[in-house]
A and B are shown apart, each in its own frame.
Chain A
Amino acid sequence: EAQVTQNPRYLITVTGKKLTVTCSQNMNHEYMSWYRQDPGLGLRQIYYSMNVEVTDKGDVPEGYKVSRKEKRNFPLILESPSPNQTSLYFCASSPWGQGEHGELFFGEGSRLTVL
Chain B
Amino acid sequence: GESVGLHLPTLSVQEGDNSIINCAYSNSASDYFIWYKQESGKGPQFIIDIRSNMDKRQGQRVTVLLNKTVKHLSLQIAATQPGDSAVYFCAESLYTGTASKLTFGTGTRLQVTL
Interface size range of chain B in the complex = 20 to 34
Contacts of A99 in B (CB 8 A): 95, 99-100
Give the segment of A13-21, A61-69, A72-80, A105-113 that binds chain B.
A105-113
In the complex the two chains form, is A98's CB within 8 Å of B5's CB? no
Residues of A within 8 A of B (CB): 4, 31, 35, 37, 39-45, 48, 50, 56, 88, 90, 92, 96, 98-109, 111
If the complex has contacts A39-B3, A39-B6, A40-B6, are A104 and B102 also in contact, measured as CB distance less than 8 A? yes
If the complex has contacts A42-B107, A100-B100, are A88 and B51 also in contact, measured as CB distance less than 8 A? no
Q: Is B64 an interface residue (CB 8 A)?
A: no
CA distance A26 to B51 in the complex (A): 27
Distance (whole angstroms) from the CB of A76 to the closest CB of chain B: 15
Q: Closest 5 CB pairs between A and B?
A: A106-B43, A101-B32, A103-B46, A43-B104, A42-B106
Other than the known A31-B99, A45-B101, A90-B43, what 13 A-B pairs have Cβ atoms closer than 8 Å?
A39-B7, A40-B6, A42-B5, A44-B104, A56-B98, A92-B43, A98-B98, A99-B100, A101-B32, A101-B49, A101-B95, A106-B45, A108-B41
